Structure 1
Protein backbone atom coordinates (compact mmCIF):
# COMPACT_ATOMS: atom_id res chain seq x y z
CA UNK A 1 0.00 0.00 0.00
CA UNK A 2 2.79 2.42 0.90
CA UNK A 3 4.42 1.78 -2.48
CA UNK A 4 1.14 2.57 -4.26
CA UNK A 5 0.84 5.90 -2.45
CA UNK A 6 4.44 6.78 -3.40
CA UNK A 7 3.84 5.69 -7.01
CA UNK A 8 0.66 7.75 -7.28
CA UNK A 9 2.47 10.69 -5.66
CA UNK A 10 4.97 10.73 -8.56
CA UNK A 11 2.24 11.07 -11.18
CA UNK A 12 -0.36 12.95 -9.14
CA UNK A 13 1.58 15.28 -6.82
CA UNK A 14 -1.58 17.08 -5.66
CA UNK A 15 -3.12 13.81 -4.42
CA UNK A 16 -2.77 13.27 -0.71
CA UNK A 17 -3.48 9.94 0.97
CA UNK A 18 -5.79 11.17 3.72
CA UNK A 19 -8.45 13.81 4.28
CA UNK A 20 -8.16 15.82 7.45
CA UNK A 21 -8.55 19.29 8.89
CA UNK A 22 -6.91 20.64 12.02
CA UNK A 23 -8.52 23.27 14.22
CA UNK A 24 -6.90 25.04 17.14
CA UNK A 25 -8.99 26.98 19.64
CA UNK A 26 -7.06 29.03 22.20
CA UNK A 27 -8.52 31.34 24.81
CA UNK A 28 -6.69 34.69 24.89
CA UNK A 29 -7.16 35.97 28.45
CA UNK A 30 -5.81 39.45 27.66
CA UNK A 31 -8.21 40.02 24.74
CA UNK A 32 -10.99 37.96 26.35
CA UNK A 33 -11.67 36.02 23.19
CA UNK A 34 -11.37 32.57 21.67
CA UNK A 35 -8.95 32.58 18.74
CA UNK A 36 -9.73 29.83 16.24
CA UNK A 37 -7.60 28.72 13.30
CA UNK A 38 -8.63 25.95 10.90
CA UNK A 39 -6.21 24.37 8.42
CA UNK A 40 -7.90 22.94 5.32
CA UNK A 41 -6.29 21.28 2.31
CA UNK A 42 -6.97 23.62 -0.61
CA UNK A 43 -7.78 20.84 -3.09
CA UNK A 44 -10.29 19.30 -0.65
CA UNK A 45 -11.89 22.69 -0.09
CA UNK A 46 -12.22 23.35 -3.82
CA UNK A 47 -13.57 19.85 -4.54
CA UNK A 48 -16.11 20.02 -1.69
CA UNK A 49 -17.43 23.47 -2.55
CA UNK A 50 -17.59 22.56 -6.25
CA UNK A 51 -19.66 19.47 -5.38
CA UNK A 52 -21.91 21.42 -3.00
CA UNK A 53 -22.61 24.28 -5.44
CA UNK A 54 -22.54 22.34 -8.71
CA UNK A 55 -20.05 24.91 -10.08
CA UNK A 56 -16.27 24.70 -10.41
CA UNK A 57 -14.80 26.55 -7.42
CA UNK A 58 -11.25 27.88 -7.16
CA UNK A 59 -9.85 29.56 -4.06
CA UNK A 60 -8.09 32.64 -5.36
CA UNK A 61 -6.25 34.70 -2.73
CA UNK A 62 -7.77 38.16 -2.40
CA UNK A 63 -10.92 37.25 -4.36
CA UNK A 64 -13.84 38.60 -2.32
CA UNK A 65 -16.40 36.25 -3.90
CA UNK A 66 -14.24 33.18 -3.12
CA UNK A 67 -13.75 34.40 0.46
CA UNK A 68 -17.52 34.80 0.93
CA UNK A 69 -18.13 31.32 -0.51
CA UNK A 70 -15.64 29.78 1.92
CA UNK A 71 -17.14 31.74 4.81
CA UNK A 72 -20.65 30.50 3.97
CA UNK A 73 -19.40 26.91 3.77
CA UNK A 74 -17.50 27.09 7.08
CA UNK A 75 -20.46 28.73 8.86
CA UNK A 76 -22.69 25.88 7.66
CA UNK A 77 -20.31 23.12 8.85
CA UNK A 78 -18.44 24.54 11.86
CA UNK A 79 -20.27 26.00 14.81
CA UNK A 80 -21.83 25.55 18.19
CA UNK A 81 -25.14 23.87 18.90
CA UNK A 82 -27.93 24.95 21.13
CA UNK A 83 -30.34 22.01 21.12
CA UNK A 84 -30.71 20.93 17.49
CA UNK A 85 -30.01 24.43 16.14
CA UNK A 86 -26.48 25.32 15.04
CA UNK A 87 -25.28 28.81 15.83
CA UNK A 88 -22.07 30.43 14.71
CA UNK A 89 -21.37 33.18 17.23
CA UNK A 90 -17.90 33.79 15.87
CA UNK A 91 -16.44 36.66 13.89
CA UNK A 92 -15.02 35.77 10.50
CA UNK A 93 -11.50 37.20 10.32
CA UNK A 94 -10.52 35.80 6.94
CA UNK A 95 -8.39 33.24 5.16
CA UNK A 96 -4.71 32.90 4.40
CA UNK A 97 -3.22 30.63 1.71
CA UNK A 98 -0.11 28.65 2.65
CA UNK A 99 1.40 26.14 0.21
CA UNK A 100 -1.30 23.47 -0.27
CA UNK A 101 -3.50 24.71 2.57
CA UNK A 102 -5.96 27.45 3.38
CA UNK A 103 -6.01 28.78 6.91
CA UNK A 104 -9.36 30.08 8.18
CA UNK A 105 -9.33 32.51 11.13
CA UNK A 106 -12.27 33.06 13.47
CA UNK A 107 -12.77 34.78 16.81
CA UNK A 108 -15.34 34.53 19.60
CA UNK A 109 -15.17 37.60 21.84
CA UNK A 110 -16.44 36.34 25.21
CA UNK A 111 -15.45 35.75 28.79
CA UNK A 112 -17.56 32.57 28.81
CA UNK A 113 -15.93 29.17 29.16
CA UNK A 114 -16.89 26.89 26.27
CA UNK A 115 -16.85 23.77 28.46
CA UNK A 116 -20.30 22.20 28.23
CA UNK A 117 -20.93 23.65 24.76
CA UNK A 118 -21.62 21.37 21.81
CA UNK A 119 -19.34 21.87 18.82
CA UNK A 120 -20.20 20.67 15.32
CA UNK A 121 -17.37 20.12 12.87
CA UNK A 122 -18.73 18.48 9.73
CA UNK A 123 -16.22 20.07 7.33
CA UNK A 124 -15.82 17.89 4.19
CA UNK A 125 -17.62 14.93 5.79
CA UNK A 126 -20.17 14.84 2.96
CA UNK A 127 -17.42 14.63 0.35
CA UNK A 128 -14.80 12.23 1.78
CA UNK A 129 -15.56 8.93 3.53
CA UNK A 130 -12.24 8.97 5.39
CA UNK A 131 -12.42 12.63 6.46
CA UNK A 132 -11.38 13.40 10.03
CA UNK A 133 -11.41 16.78 11.74
CA UNK A 134 -9.12 17.23 14.72
CA UNK A 135 -9.97 20.03 17.16
CA UNK A 136 -7.59 21.03 19.94
CA UNK A 137 -8.61 23.60 22.47
CA UNK A 138 -6.85 25.15 25.41
CA UNK A 139 -7.93 27.54 28.09
CA UNK A 140 -5.94 28.69 31.08
CA UNK A 141 -3.70 25.63 31.12
CA UNK A 142 -6.39 23.04 30.34
CA UNK A 143 -5.94 21.27 26.99
CA UNK A 144 -8.21 18.81 25.22
CA UNK A 145 -8.46 17.29 21.73
CA UNK A 146 -11.46 15.93 19.85
CA UNK A 147 -11.67 13.87 16.68
CA UNK A 148 -14.73 14.48 14.49
CA UNK A 149 -15.81 12.07 11.73
CA UNK A 150 -18.99 10.96 9.93
CA UNK A 151 -20.26 9.08 12.95
CA UNK A 152 -19.29 11.86 15.35
CA UNK A 153 -20.02 15.30 13.88
CA UNK A 154 -21.07 16.90 17.17
CA UNK A 155 -19.26 16.65 20.49
CA UNK A 156 -19.59 18.27 23.89
CA UNK A 157 -16.51 20.21 24.96
CA UNK A 158 -15.33 19.37 28.46
CA UNK A 159 -12.33 19.89 30.69
Structure 2
Protein backbone atom coordinates (compact mmCIF):
# COMPACT_ATOMS: atom_id res chain seq x y z
CA UNK A 1 0.00 0.00 0.00
CA UNK A 2 1.33 3.39 -0.98
CA UNK A 3 -0.40 6.42 0.50
CA UNK A 4 0.36 9.81 -0.97
CA UNK A 5 -1.05 12.96 0.60
CA UNK A 6 -0.70 16.58 -0.45
CA UNK A 7 -0.53 18.95 2.54
CA UNK A 8 -1.46 22.39 1.15
CA UNK A 9 -0.57 24.39 4.28
CA UNK A 10 3.02 23.09 4.13
CA UNK A 11 3.19 22.65 0.33
CA UNK A 12 4.51 19.14 0.81
CA UNK A 13 3.61 15.66 -0.30
CA UNK A 14 3.84 12.92 2.31
CA UNK A 15 4.49 9.43 0.96
CA UNK A 16 3.92 6.41 3.21
CA UNK A 17 4.63 2.89 2.01
CA UNK A 18 3.43 -0.17 3.90
CA UNK A 19 5.10 -3.48 3.08
CA UNK A 20 4.96 -6.79 4.92
CA UNK A 21 8.23 -7.04 6.84
CA UNK A 22 9.17 -10.51 5.58
CA UNK A 23 8.51 -9.50 1.94
CA UNK A 24 10.73 -6.43 2.25
CA UNK A 25 13.47 -8.37 4.05
CA UNK A 26 13.43 -11.17 1.48
CA UNK A 27 13.49 -8.72 -1.42
CA UNK A 28 16.45 -6.80 -0.03
CA UNK A 29 18.22 -10.05 0.92
CA UNK A 30 17.99 -11.11 -2.72
CA UNK A 31 19.85 -7.92 -3.64
CA UNK A 32 22.43 -8.20 -0.84
CA UNK A 33 22.97 -11.93 -0.45
CA UNK A 34 26.05 -11.57 1.75
CA UNK A 35 24.15 -9.83 4.58
CA UNK A 36 21.68 -11.40 7.04
CA UNK A 37 19.14 -8.58 6.99
CA UNK A 38 16.89 -8.13 10.02
CA UNK A 39 14.71 -5.03 9.84
CA UNK A 40 13.18 -5.47 13.30
CA UNK A 41 16.53 -5.95 15.09
CA UNK A 42 19.13 -4.48 12.72
CA UNK A 43 22.82 -5.03 13.41
CA UNK A 44 23.59 -1.85 11.46
CA UNK A 45 20.57 0.47 11.38
CA UNK A 46 22.28 3.01 9.10
CA UNK A 47 22.89 0.30 6.50
CA UNK A 48 19.33 -1.04 6.78
CA UNK A 49 17.95 2.50 6.35
CA UNK A 50 20.19 3.02 3.32
CA UNK A 51 19.06 -0.22 1.66
CA UNK A 52 15.36 0.42 2.34
CA UNK A 53 15.69 3.94 0.94
CA UNK A 54 17.59 2.72 -2.14
CA UNK A 55 15.17 -0.10 -2.81
CA UNK A 56 12.06 2.06 -2.64
CA UNK A 57 13.65 4.97 -4.53
CA UNK A 58 14.53 2.61 -7.38
CA UNK A 59 10.94 1.34 -7.64
CA UNK A 60 8.70 4.25 -6.66
CA UNK A 61 8.63 7.64 -8.35
CA UNK A 62 6.21 10.55 -8.05
CA UNK A 63 5.85 13.08 -10.85
CA UNK A 64 3.78 16.20 -10.16
CA UNK A 65 2.56 18.23 -13.15
CA UNK A 66 5.19 16.54 -15.37
CA UNK A 67 8.07 17.22 -12.96
CA UNK A 68 9.78 14.28 -11.23
CA UNK A 69 9.95 15.14 -7.55
CA UNK A 70 12.71 14.02 -5.19
CA UNK A 71 11.39 11.97 -2.28
CA UNK A 72 13.34 12.65 0.92
CA UNK A 73 13.64 9.56 3.09
CA UNK A 74 12.36 10.14 6.63
CA UNK A 75 12.68 6.62 8.05
CA UNK A 76 10.71 3.50 8.82
CA UNK A 77 8.82 1.94 11.69
CA UNK A 78 7.64 -1.56 12.46
CA UNK A 79 3.89 -1.98 12.97
CA UNK A 80 2.64 -5.51 13.63
CA UNK A 81 3.64 -7.61 10.58
CA UNK A 82 4.38 -4.61 8.38
CA UNK A 83 6.94 -1.88 7.94
CA UNK A 84 5.85 1.69 7.24
CA UNK A 85 8.43 3.66 5.26
CA UNK A 86 8.08 7.45 5.12
CA UNK A 87 9.16 10.04 2.56
CA UNK A 88 8.49 13.73 2.06
CA UNK A 89 8.50 15.90 -1.05
CA UNK A 90 8.96 19.61 -0.29
CA UNK A 91 7.99 22.83 -2.09
CA UNK A 92 5.13 21.45 -4.14
CA UNK A 93 2.50 23.84 -5.49
CA UNK A 94 -1.11 22.63 -5.60
CA UNK A 95 -0.92 19.61 -7.96
CA UNK A 96 -3.21 19.27 -10.93
CA UNK A 97 -1.80 15.95 -12.18
CA UNK A 98 0.16 13.30 -10.27
CA UNK A 99 1.85 10.39 -12.05
CA UNK A 100 3.06 7.46 -9.91
CA UNK A 101 5.52 4.79 -11.07
CA UNK A 102 5.46 1.80 -8.71
CA UNK A 103 7.13 -1.60 -9.13
CA UNK A 104 7.57 -2.39 -5.44
CA UNK A 105 8.03 -6.13 -4.86
CA UNK A 106 7.59 -6.94 -8.57
CA UNK A 107 11.07 -8.48 -8.49
CA UNK A 108 10.00 -10.64 -5.54
CA UNK A 109 6.49 -11.76 -6.52
CA UNK A 110 5.14 -11.69 -10.05
CA UNK A 111 1.58 -11.83 -8.67
CA UNK A 112 2.20 -8.64 -6.65
CA UNK A 113 -0.62 -6.10 -6.48
CA UNK A 114 0.21 -2.55 -5.39
CA UNK A 115 -2.55 -0.36 -4.01
CA UNK A 116 -2.04 3.39 -4.32
CA UNK A 117 -4.14 6.04 -2.60
CA UNK A 118 -3.72 9.76 -3.27
CA UNK A 119 -5.33 12.42 -1.11
CA UNK A 120 -5.42 16.05 -2.18
CA UNK A 121 -7.29 18.10 0.40
CA UNK A 122 -10.76 16.59 0.69
CA UNK A 123 -10.41 14.69 -2.60
CA UNK A 124 -9.19 11.11 -2.46
CA UNK A 125 -8.56 8.66 -5.29
CA UNK A 126 -7.31 5.08 -5.28
CA UNK A 127 -5.91 2.72 -7.86
CA UNK A 128 -4.56 -0.80 -8.09
CA UNK A 129 -1.48 -1.87 -10.05
CA UNK A 130 -1.00 -5.53 -10.85
CA UNK A 131 2.21 -6.86 -12.41
CA UNK A 132 3.28 -5.88 -15.07
CA UNK A 133 1.33 -2.59 -14.85
CA UNK A 134 3.49 0.03 -13.17
CA UNK A 135 2.01 3.51 -13.63
CA UNK A 136 -1.09 5.35 -12.55
CA UNK A 137 -2.23 8.95 -13.07
CA UNK A 138 -4.36 11.00 -10.72
CA UNK A 139 -5.96 14.21 -11.97
CA UNK A 140 -7.49 16.96 -9.85
Tell me which of 36, 50, 55 is aligned to 2:15. Answer: 36
Superposition TM-score, scaled by structure 2 size: 0.85
Tell me which of 17, 27, 32 is aligned to 1:48. Answer: 27
Q: Distance in 1 between matches of 2:15 and 2:37?
A: 24
Superposition TM-score, scaled by structure 1 size: 0.75
8 Å CA contact retained: 1:61, 1:97: no
Q: CA deviation at 1:60?
A: 3.9
Superposed CA deviations along residues 13-45 of structure 1, whole A, max 9, x for unmatched, are xxxxxxxxx111111122211111111100000
Map residues 57-136 of structure 1 onto 2, 5 A cutoff: 57-60=37-40, 63-80=45-62, 87=68, 89-136=70-117
Structure (1 or 2) with the greater helix fraction? 1
Q: Distance in 2 between matches of 1:50 and 1:141?
A: 39
Superposed CA deviations along residues 33-59 of structure 1, whole A, max 9, x for unmatched, are 111111110000011111123334221
Alignment CA distance shift 1:81-1:143 (3 Å)? closer
Pick 1 or 2: higher relative contact order, CA cutoff 8 A, min separation 6. Answer: 2
Q: Distance in 2 between matches of 1:39 and 1:117?
A: 20
CA RMSD in angstroms comes to: 2.2
8 Å CA contact retained: 2:11, 2:94: no
Bigger CA radius of gyration: 1
Structure 2 runs not aligned, ≥5 long: none
